[in-house]
Amino acid sequence: MRPVDRMVDAYLDWLRVERHLSERTLTAYASDLGRFMAHAESVGATEAHSLTTSVVSSFLVSLGRANISARSAARYLSSVRGFCRFLVREKLLEADPCALVDRPRLGRRLPATLTFEEVKALLDAPATHTARGRRDRAMLYMMYSAGLRVSELVRLELADVDRRRGVVRAFGKGEKRRLVPLGEPALAALDGYLSDRARHRHAASSRVLFLSPSGGSLSRQAFYKRVVAYARACGIDKPVSPHKLRHSFATHLLQGGADLRSVQAMLGHADLTTTEVYTHVVGDHARRAFRRAHPRA
């Protein structure tokens, strides 16, 4: 095994053990760092001490020549930056070669959202006369009411919902736990599903909240397909995904007067700047309303 491969493997092991990152995230890091180390080797940098600022800068230049977008290049740089900080911490590098490398400039991409009316139509789309429809309805209500990521939704267990207090416990990135309140409509939809779940043939042997026919949890891809199908059925002609419900949750809260810190806590964002993007969505909404309604617009 090459020295560069051993360094990357050690970093991935550290992320797995110390940061508790998922295998999916680790695979993404491995892919990014694999491309970086292949570039480093092509310019003769095969040892830790040879990873210099010029190597990192030339890597970003190579990404540009390969028509990699600025957003993707920024992700590569983030992966490389974390790796180099690990090497400094392990005393394999004297200084961080990324410290003087500027992050690629990104245009602000506002999250796409659904209107209140579109959300209501989507939540009411599943048929309530079938067990699967009642399950899907409860999942949609839960996702929108708590602003959950789809990965958080499908891994929920029965014990994660406190019906008496009206909260759900979600496990976010890095296994960080947060409690999010649930509205009465979401709790009512959940109650409608739980009676079906109690009769499921795998109910006694599974802790999963939203059961698939086989007794396990639904995959993210399966739920995505359900959301797209319901959106099409209720006449929503824009692209819809589970994550768009999370964006809509945050935007609608801010439009209703919620403070940014509360929304940050409910979304599980580590950094407030991640949540601040929704204030631009709200601002754009206000500007459109002003232009449409104000006589001096």
Q: Per-domain residue ranges for the chain?
A: 3-89, 116-293
Distance between CA 83 and CA 48 in Å, rounded? 11
Report the catalytic residues. Answer: 149, 173, 243, 246, 269, 278
Least confident of 31-40, 63-72, 144-153: 63-72
Residue 180, helix vs strand vs coil: strand
Indicate the CATH number for domain 116-293.
Answer: 1.10.443.10
Q: What is the mean pLDDT of residues 95-118?
A: 79
Q: What is the pLDDT of residues 36-47, one digit of tens each?
A: 999 988 888 878
- For residue 79, count other CB atoms closer than 10 A to its CB: 20
Q: State the pLDDT at residue 271.
A: 78
Q: Which residues lie closer than 8 Å to 259 by C-beta, 6 or more apart?
A: none
Q: What is the pLDDT of residues 135-170, one digit of tens each?
A: 999 999 999 999 999 999 999 999 999 988 999 998
How many Cα atoms occupy the beta-carbon half-sphere of 120 within 13 Å? 4
Distance between CA 229 and CA 223 in Å, rounded? 10
- How does DSSP classify residue 101? P
Residue 177, helix vs strand vs coil: strand
Distance between CA 267 and CA 78 in Å, rounded? 22
Tell me the whole-structure pTM to 2 decimals: 0.63
- How does DSSP classify residue 162? E
pLDDT tier at 109, thresholds 50, 70, 90:
low
pLDDT tier at 6, thresholds 50, 70, 90:
confident
**Terminal-to-terminal C-alpha distance of the chain:** 67
For residues 181 and 167, the answer to whether their CB atoms sit within 8 Å is yes
Q: State the pLDDT at residue 290.
A: 58
Q: What is the mean pLDDT of residues 208-233?
A: 92
